[in-house]
Amino acid sequence: MPGETVPGQYGAMSTLTPGFTGRRRERPDLPPGQYLAHDFPVLSAGPTPRLRTDRWEFVITTETGAETRWTWGEFTALPHEDVTVDLHCVTKWSKLRTGWRGVAVDTLLSGVDTAADYVMAHSYDGYTTNLPLEDLLDGKAWVAYRYEGEALAPEHGGPARLLVPHLYLWKSAKWLHGLRMMLQDEPGFWEEAGYHNYGDPWREQRYQGD
Ligand SMILES: Nc1nc2c(c(=O)[nH]1)N[C@H]1C(S)=C(S)[C@@H](COP(=O)(O)O)O[C@H]1N2
Ligand SMILES: [Mo]
């Protein structure tokens, strides 16, 4: 109905153009099926581990078993980036324009020799999630340790978490311990339980078969 007036997303009245759903045009930054969250929900499969930075380490393991390790001091001395990114959780909340400091995965992998195409992120709580290596490269992913100007809170994965904002947030492993290079893909914790193997929010890849 041309010129039909309907309640808009913010309660104001807006005009719909035929052929468009008003909501999607008003929020081109919100993937399908998502709503805006203004708080920062905490979603964890188990209790929050309390990790001491003086015992923390980050390790990259290649397919040959070669390991590269960083202590907290070494890790935080690496060149970092400050990024503003949108977060999309499979439980349908999105949080836009969140500010993080982290080390680009490119930086961590720069001295690592690997022929692998897949990565398993593994965390101090036993959580795992798998990703194609290329999704961690070219400035698309970070190991993040500050959120909105402060040390990353334990509930949100501190001391450091993986941040892969272009995929659903379950791919952003909290309490990150390391990355393991894999020649063949393997499912992580939620992927094993029926979540989509890749998890692109713009294609609504929530569960296997989506
Ligand atoms: N180590 C670990 N990382 C994890 C999880 C977890 O249980 N353990 N939950 C995942 C899920 S399902 C989501 S939606 C996000 C939630 O991050 P948040 O608690 O900071 O919002 O963390 C992801 N990373
Ligand atoms: Mo999640």
Q: Whose CA is nearest to atom 18 of ligand 1?
A: 42
Q: How confident is the model at residue 27 (pLDDT cuts 50, 70, 90)?
A: confident
Which domains, ranges and CATH numbers included, belong to the chain? 35-39+54-203 (3.90.420.10)
Q: Is the pLDDT of residue 125 over 70?
A: yes
What's the average model confidence in pLDDT over 12-24?
47
Q: What is the pLDDT of residues 148-157, one digit of tens each?
A: 999 999 999 9
Q: What is the pLDDT of residues 92-104, one digit of tens each?
A: 999 999 999 999 9
Q: What percent of the chain has pLDDT over 90?
A: 87
**Secondary structure of the chain as H, E, C letters:** CCCCEEECCCCCEEECCCCCCHHHHHCCCCCCCCEECCCCCCCCCCCCCCCCCCCCEEEEECCCCCEEEEEHHHHHCCCCEEEEEEEECCCCEEEEEEEEEEEEHHHHHCCCCCCCCEEEEEECCCCEEEEEHHHHCCCCCEEEEEECCEECCHHHCCCCEEECCCCCHHHCCCCEEEEEEECCCCCCHHHHCCECCCCCHHHCCCECCC
Pocket of ligand 1 (CB under 6 A): 41-45, 89, 123, 125, 127, 156-157, 169-170, 172-175
What's the average model confidence in pLDDT over 54-80?
98
What's the average model confidence in pLDDT over 20-40?
82
Q: How confident is the model at residue 25 (pLDDT cuts 50, 70, 90)?
A: low
State pTM to two decimals: 0.90
Q: Is the pLDDT of residue 209 over 60?
A: yes
Mean pLDDT of the chain: 91
Buried b (16+ CB within 10 A) or exposed e, 172-196: bbbbbbbbbbbeeeebbbbbeeebb
Contact present, 205 and 198 (Cβ < 8 Å): yes
Q: Is the pLDDT of residue 14 over 50?
A: no
The better pLDDT of the pair 16, 129 is held by 129
Q: What is the pLDDT of residues 163-184, one digit of tens each?
A: 999 999 999 999 999 999 999 9
Q: How far is the CA of 7 from the centre of ligand 1 (A)?
A: 35
Q: Is the pLDDT of residue 7 over 50?
A: no
For ligand 1, mutation pick of 156, 170, 192 (most atoms within 8 Å of CB):
170
Q: Is the pLDDT of residue 11 over 90?
A: no
CA dihedral angle for residue 53, residue 102, residue 48, residue 50, rounded to 10 degrees: 10
Q: Residue 96's pLDDT is what?
A: 97
Backbone conformation region of residue 157, classed left if phi is above 0, alpha if psi is from -120 to 50, else beta:
left
Q: Residue 10's pLDDT is what?
A: 35
